[in-house]
Amino acid sequence: MTVLGIIWFILIFVLIAGYFVLDGFDLGAGVLSPFVAKTDEEKALLRRSVGPVWDGNEVWLLTAGGALFAAFAPAYATTFSGFYLAIILVLMGLIVRAISLEYSASETKPGWKKAWNALFFVGSLLPALLF
């Protein structure tokens, strides 16, 4: 392996490790939300604690995917074609979590608020299980 390949490998490792460490908090908060937060105020507090950082944490994952594509295209192709269903489910979970975080704060109807809380849980549980 060349020096450039080793540098790319270290960069991708740092990006993936950064994502797992930083987004682990967000995923854990979402998975534990039905068990830890009982009242609407507690659920809102939990979402506000995750709110400022969840979007930035996804950048680590996207950058790692882009770096993998740029540096090791055959590994990218093998990984993304071999785990296609799992990757699609992870992306759907992340999208559902993002939507639930955005809409649950502005929702006033109780039925929708419960639905957004459930989707926040599912959107956090699915990526955590699949990773």
Confidence (pTM): 0.85
What is residue 39's DSSP assignment? Answer: S
Encoding tokens for residue 30? 């979402």
The answer on pLDDT for 22 being more than 80 is: yes
Tens digits of per-residue pLDDT, 107-117?
Answer: 777 788 889 98
